[in-house]
Amino acid sequence: MPAARRNRDYVRAMTAIRVLLVDDDPLVRAGLSFMMGGADDIRIVGEAADGGEVETLVDRTRPDVVLMDIRMPTVDGLTATERLRARPDAPQVVVLTTFHADEQVLRALRAGAAGFVLKDTPPAEILDAVRRVAAGDPVLSPTVTRQLMEHAAGTAADTRRARARERIAALNDREREVAVAVGRGLANADIATELFMSVATVKTHVSRILAKLDLNNRVQIALLAYDAGLLDADGDGD
């Protein structure tokens, strides 16, 4: 192999997004692996058939993104996500599911997953989701976020609201405004325009919110804002 090609392949391998596939269906894993194998900027570094294998494989392969099935026979994707996101320097997790609105998907998002994709999502959109999550952007539209949160509303809603309000109380007024805007699905540029601040200041506020509330990503900010009642029509949470 020519030296120029070897160097090019080495650079590509070192800069590609490293992905770990976790699904108990070998056909699903094979399909995802085949699809992603054609992308120059994505590299499959490992596969697992059960959530119980995830932590060992993460230590061995150091992925940037884990595509995680929810329903697996021994250790499910929810438990695996909770364990993984509790670790320092954990990779991003994207949940694989067959349902738009599912309590387990919502629990995975609360545990720190950066979003979810449906298993029948077109290949180009799955690749885009991996790239976005690797870049730090959650893969969840405001419409789907609200659908999931409303799906989970029920007997535990009052308890969640009380706990969420206790946590939100740690924010100052400006951070609370930013949290509400994030919960509404606004991008940083839109938040900056609406709240009359720079994009850099918005990013600073988002970082402070994540740190103060011990959250992993913007999806969790949106979920907490919803739980606290900040996204109610009247906007006051009452």
Summarised one tens digit per residue, pLDDT across range 198-237 is 999 999 999 999 999 988 888 889 888 888 888 775 444 4
Which residues have a Cβ under 8 Å from the Cβ of 17 and sit 6 or more positions away? 41, 42, 43, 64, 65, 130, 131, 134
Question: Is 234 part of a structural domain of the chain?
Answer: no
Calculate mean pLDDT across residues 87-98: 87
Do both 84 and 111 map to the same domain?
yes
Do both 45 and 98 map to the same domain?
yes
Confidence of residue 38 (pLDDT cuts 50, 70, 90): confident
| Displacement of CA 65 from its chain's centroid (Å) | 10
Do both 82 and 22 map to the same domain?
yes
Which residues have a Cβ under 8 Å from the Cβ of 137 and sit 6 or more positions away? none
Confidence of residue 11 (pLDDT cuts 50, 70, 90): very low
Number of domains the chain is built from: 2
Report the percentage of the chain scoring pLDDT > 90: 43
Do both 9 and 118 map to the same domain?
yes
**Structural domain containing residue 180:** 154-228
Residue 162, amino acid? A
Residue where a domain stops, chosen among 116, 139, 162: 139
For the record, the structure tokens of 39 come out as 């992308």
Do both 42 and 104 map to the same domain?
yes
Contact status, residue 134 vs residue 66, Cβ threshold 8 Å: no
Residue where a domain stops, chosen among 139, 169, 184: 139
